[in-house]
Structure 1
C-alpha cells in the first residue's frame, strides 16, 4: 500500500447523536469518494444548493465551534472533531451526508469517528496526494493570544499552550508531530468548559445538548465527570485536536511548524486567511515520489488499519 496516494473510506460509515449546541438529534453518513473529490458536506435535509465545502474562506462562525456556510446560507457547524479525524487518518476524499445543521458531538472527542473509520478501512487510489508547504513565517495575534506558522521539512508540528486561572486546568502545554507521533491521547480528548460559564453559554443559545456524557466540566478545584480525565493533558490535547481539524479547512495536509498560545477556532482561521492571501507564503506540491523519509500519515494509525 502506498501512503503517498489519495485515500477514501472503503464503505459507508454512519453516526447518530445529539448536537452539542442545538441539542437536536443528528444523523451523518460518510461515503467513499473518487480521487480529487475532496471532503464535501451535503445537507440532505435540503433538496437544492446543499453542498458545503469545508474551506477556511467559508468559515462564518468560530464561537465555541467551527461553522462553514455556502453562498446560499446553508450551514454545517461543529465540524472540527470530524475534520481532525479525517486529517489524522489521511482521508483525502469523502462525501459527508448530514440531516441537520450540526455534526453530532458524540463523546466530545474524535474517538468514535476514528474507531469506526478504522474498522471500516480505507481504499487507496493511484492518484498522488497534494500537500501545502509553508515558505515563510506568518503570525496572527489577538491581545495576549497568538498563533504562528513557519516552514518545516517533512512534518507538521503543533506546539500549543493553555493559560487558565482555574487551578485544575492551569497552564498546560504540549507539542506533537502530527504525522509521526501516536495521537491517541489527542483524538480521545474531550471538549471542556468551566461550570461558571455554562449559564452564559446557554443564555446565548448554545450547548443545549451539552452534558457530562460529551464534555468535561470543571468547577473550582473539581472535575464533575465521575471518570475524571482520560489523560493528564486532556485540556490542551483537545485544543490540539481542534487545531488539526481547523487546519484541514486548508484543503490539504500541511507541512509546517505551528505555535499557539491561548488560541482556538478564531485564531486558526485568521492565520489560514493570512497565509493564503499571498501566494509567496506557501507552495502546493503534488507528491509523485514512491517514498519520503517520513510518511505523511500517522504510523500508529496505519498499523491499526493494516491489522
Structure 2
C-alpha cells in the first residue's frame, strides 16, 4: 500500500549554504500524488517542483531541484531520505525559501517529526522499480551502480586522507526500520579546509559544529565527537537513499557507491532510466512491501543522538 503522513509537520531552521531561516511544512497528500515541493515565497510564476531525478540541476555540495520556470530548492536530500526511510510515498513539501534547513546535519529532526504525527496507509497499491540488469557509472574517480537484489540494499565505501575519517565501508539492507535505526541520525561531515574554502566562496554561511561534523587531520572538532564510529560512511548512505528517492518510486535492488556523492547517484538514475531493459515497474506484493524501508518501524528504532 501507498502511505502518507497522518498530519502535517512543520520544521524551522536555517539553510546550510545560505544561512537563511526557512520554514518547511510537510503535509499529507492523496494516493498517486507523489512528492512535490512548493516554494510558497514565489508568487509570480509556477512554484511547484516535482521531487524527481530529472529536475535536479545542481549536485555540488547538495542536491538542488528546479522547474522549467527557474524556481529552485536545494539541500533536499536529508528530507527525501527521511520520507523514503519512513515509507512515505505521497506528500506536499512547502517551504518559504530556496533551501531546506540543515537542522543538525542529519535526517533525525525530520524523522522524529514524522514518527510523532504517525503514518497513514492508503487504499492504493504501491509500485516499485525492480532492477533487472546492472547499471553503473564511473566518472572522475567515483563510481556507483545498481544491480538486481530481492530487497533494497546499500553498500558504500569512502576513503579520506584525514585520519579522523580514513577508510570506511558498510553494507545495510534498508528493511525492518534499518534506515531509522542505523542511518537517520548520522550527520554530514567536512574537512576544516573545505569549510574555509566554501565560506570564502560565499557558501556554508549557515554551517557550524551544531549542524556538521568538522575534522582536521586526526581531530574531530565537535566537542561531542562522532555519534557512531563510522558515522561518515553512514551519512553517505543516508544521502544515497535520499537521492535514490528522486526515482519517484522505491527501488528494489542493490546500490553500490565508491567515493560517490550526489552527482554520482543522479548520473546513475539518469543512466538507469535511459536503459528500459534494466528495470521494470512492478506492483508490490505483500512480501515485497514488508521488505521496504518504511515497514516495521518501531518508536524504539529511533535515537536522536
Matched, 1:22 2:18: yes
Compare 157-166 and 199-208 and name the one that shifted more.
Answer: 199-208
**What's 1:69 paired with?**
66
Deviations 1:37-84 (CA, angstroms, capped at 9, x unpaired)? 000000000123000011111100000100000000000100000000
Q: Report the Cα distance in structure 2 between the residues aligned to 1:263 and 1:292, rounded to whole angstroms.
A: 28
Are the equivalent residues in 2 in contact too, given 1:6–1:92 (CA < 8 A)? yes
Are the equivalent residues in 2 in contact too, given 1:182–1:300 (CA < 8 A)? no
Are the equivalent residues in 2 in contact too, given 1:18–1:24 (CA < 8 A)? yes
**What's 1:158 paired with?**
154
SS at match of 1:211: coil
RMSD after superposition: 1.5
How far 1:220 moved relative to its partner? 1.6
Aligned mate of 2:97, from 95, 100, 103: 100
Residue-pair matches, total: 299
**What's 1:133 paired with?**
130
**What's 2:41 paired with?**
45
**What's 2:198 paired with?**
201
Aligned mate of 2:164, from 157, 165, 168: 168
**Within 5 A, what are the aligned runs for 1:111-260?**
111-153=108-150, 155-180=151-176, 182-183=178-179, 184-260=181-257
How far 1:144 moved relative to its partner? 2.7
**TM-score normalized with structure 2 length:** 0.95
How far 1:203 moved relative to its partner? 2.2
**TM-score normalized with structure 1 length:** 0.94
Are the equivalent residues in 2 in contact too, given 1:118–1:304 (CA < 8 A)? no
Q: Which runs of 5+ in 1 are unaligned?
A: none
**Within 5 A, what are the aligned runs for 1:251-270?**
251-270=248-267
Q: Which runs of 5+ in 2 are unaligned?
A: none
How far 1:293 moved relative to its partner? 8.4
